[in-house]
Structure 1
Amino acid sequence: MSQVLPVVGSWRKSSRCESHNCVEVARRSGEVAVRNSALPEDQVAFSAAVWQDFIAGVRAGEFDLR
């Protein structure tokens, strides 16, 4: 089992989330962690560079449904 690093600060979720089942993000040492608020023990993490590329793609519309 891999070790889960502690988060820096706190978990954040969108202000648009109106349920208990939301995506949350948090910073960890050198990476960004993502989890479902309904399943907080299940987390995935990405390097800061990969996360920045993902956010740039979202802003550029790369993942918009057509």
Structure 2
Amino acid sequence: MAKIKVTQTRSSIGSKPKQRGSLRALGLGRIGKSNVLEDTPDARGQINKVPHLISVEEDDS
């Protein structure tokens, strides 16, 4: 299955609690932290909740 690399680029200060929860579920918590995830519908749904706080790229490894 394909993998995606998610990196937090902006702070979660001032964001809604559900958005902070989505960041935590993605394995993020501070600016610059990255996580490699399986490209599943669950992960894509969480990514779609916080696109303004993260950057997403394909992981080739």
Q: TM-score, normalised by structure 1?
A: 0.24
Q: Identify which of structures 1 and 2 has the higher relative contact order when contacts are C-alpha pairs closer than 8 Å and 6+ apart.
A: 2
Query: Radius of gyration: which is bigger?
Result: 1
Task: Give TM-score scaled by structure 2 length.
Answer: 0.25
